[in-house]
Amino acid sequence: MNLRPFIKTHIKTIMTNFDVQRGPFDSFLREYYKNNKTLGPSERSIISQTAFDLVRNDLLLSHFTKDVDRKCDLLPHISNYEKDQNIPLNIRCSCPEILFQLVSDQYGQKRAYEFFMALNTKAPLTIRINPIKTTREKLIKEMNQLYFKKTLTSPYGLIVSKENNVNLTDTDQFKEGLFEIQDEASQVCALRVQCQPNDKVLDYCAGSGGKTLAFAHQMEGKGVIEINDTRSEALSKAKIRLRRAGIMNYSFFTKKFKYDWILLDVPCSSLGTLRRNPDSKYRFSQERLNDLIKLQQEIFDQAIRFLKQDGVIVYTTCSFLKDENQNQVKHFCNKYNLSVVDNDYFQSLPEKGGMDSFFSISLKKN
């Protein structure tokens, strides 16, 4: 790859010092840029793109060489190596063997390979307009220096064209709360919380409020939204984002009510967002997965106590593993005598150019 020597030096330093077991890679890169303030935006962009590609394709590149410079040289030819029948399939899509085997057992080898190939591509940049303050049409007009394509499944999503080189969070429209950056699948899952004015809603794993923001407008400012998470710093961020979006009817979890809607966006293996966090595939282990499955069940046990008799609990993951999705749902339904609302669920599987891979299902007491 024709990279300037000083860019190559930075990439080499980053790749040599990054310890995948201590990830995530995006936080590591942010820290690196903080300590290397002389790097300008375009230099950072080249470094990030190349470094992310190196991480995504690390198993395949490491099949040929351990040297970072040489890996950079191989990157432009990666599609040739991906087709090489002499290389084991899991290496061709840079997926650790244990993970590849697990996904092959569930979906077959061919689909497992297609999934991980799709997850090795760059995710589209998608925003969700805030329907309290604007519409997709108005925002497209207002931000006419950018190119947008409307999402087909989420009614509020816009995919930002790749040619744009604008930092979206620096724009006036972002600062005024007209939009948030959010993948389409995440928007669709949040909208399974079909709350109405005067409902009581609990977002039990709210994090920094990504999904709270995406369902809250339906309440038209009336009723109660409570947010909960074990990370208080994430909840503080959620407060700032909710205020920016013009949502005022929220508070932290009071444990005072039984709720009409509970959203459980549980911690999971996050395999469905590997395009954004490619390093997490190298941290996958059966042990970690077992711990997550247990945690998901504990969170469900804690939260369901707060569901009204005729309320709905929406269970969501960004994973495509059946053990975190369908098998968990079977467990919850048996344990608590629940049924699936409308016999229906949402799932986006990894697909080139598509949404992140999410699973979401609405459950009701019988």
Ligand X SMILES: C[S@@+](CC[C@H](N)C(=O)[O-])C[C@H]1O[C@@H](n2cnc3c(N)ncnc32)[C@H](O)[C@@H]1O
We find the least distance from the C-beta atom of residue 190 to ligand X, in angstroms, to be 7
Residue 318 annotated to the active site: yes
Stretch that binds ligand X, among 64-72, 134-142, 204-212, 357-365 (CB under 6 A): 204-212
Q: Which two tokens stand for residue 1?
A: 């790859």
Within residues 36-95, the interface with ligand X by CB under 6 A covers none
| Annotated binding-site residue? 26 | no
Q: In what order do the strands lie in the sheet with 157-160?
A: 148-150, 157-160, 125-129, 179-181
Nearer to ligand X by Cβ, of 134 and 212: the residue is 212
- Of 206, 271, 321, 361, which one interacts with ligand X (CB under 6 A)? 206
Ligand-binding annotation for 229, yes or no, is yes
What are the helix (H) ranges across 35-96?
41-56, 58-64, 68-74, 78-82, 89-92
157 binds ligand X (CB under 6 A): no
- Is residue 199 within 8 Å of 314, Cβ to Cβ? no
Do 351 and 328 contact (CB within 8 A), yes or no?
Answer: no
Looking at beta carbons only, is 91 or 190 nearer to ligand X? 190
CB of 94 to ligand X, least distance (A): 24
Using CB under 6 A as the binding rule, whether residue 276 contacts ligand X is answered as no
List 7, 75, 140, 234, residue binding ligand X (CB under 6 A): 234
289: left (phi over 0), alpha (psi -120 to 50) or beta: alpha
- Bridge-based pairing state of the strands 200-203 and 259-265: parallel
230 is a site residue for ligand X (CB under 6 A): yes
Among 58, 184, 229, 260, binds ligand X (CB under 6 A): 229
- Determine if 267 is a binding residue for ligand X (CB under 6 A): yes
Cα–Cα dist 254/235, whole Å: 14
Q: Which residues are annotated as a binding site for S-adenosyl-L-methionine?
A: 229, 265
